Amino acid sequence: MGEARVENPTPVHRFMPGRVPMWWADALVALSEDALLGPVIERYGEDGITSRDDLFQTLIRSIVGQQISVTAADAIWGRLLDHLGEASPDAVLSTTQEAIAACGLTRPKASYIVGLAQQADRLLDQPWDTMDDAAIQRHLVQFRGIGPWTAEMMLMFHFLRPDVFSLGDIGLIRGTQRLVPEAVTKEAVGEIAERWRPYRTAAAWYLWRILDPVPVEY
């Protein structure tokens, strides 16, 4: 899968209580004036992306959702949570890889989740507030099961970074193509996404909604 372009060091962004991004209101103002996204925002409303403020849980949920539909991912996630009780490293390590796979995950995905739990201290104990987007991506992709797409989802759904657009996400490609059918390549989609800077994360949120009215969650 293609990797989204990473700019030079990105400024650190702070969040309002409840992990709603401080930049969301500004993004709505800017994108509502966009000829392509304005009607989409009007259709689906102003509620947007939030963070669960739990990186490990968000990582596991993104692994569950890799290359499957939102509906299928939600069903598997529900079974996994029922089995674990909570999505924590300790809960994962208290069970077996086979039991995790039995919740509907492939064997590789189950092994990734166990591996992340085993390396949780090194994975999670980082000076996140001082790290730009590129530094966070470099750290995360060191771990099995976390590729460029998953790292980008973490930037969007956990760290709430405002200007992330994953060209490795087929939903964003197809959502953009619904608005601009002649954008037949990833490169063309990336060029169109430039119009949504510096709020490409919010643009992505609405592009996903074009394909599936159920909000994406990780």
- Domains, the chain, ranges and CATH? 17-50+163-211 (1.10.1670.40), 55-130 (1.10.340.30)
The pLDDT, as a whole number, for residue 11 is 37
Is the Cβ–Cβ distance between 92 and 113 less than 8 Å?
yes
Which residue in 55, 50, 47 sits closest to 146, CA to CA?
A: 55
pLDDT digits (tens, 9 = 90+) for 118-165: 999 999 999 999 999 999 999 999 999 999 999 999 999 999 999 999
Structure pTM?
0.85
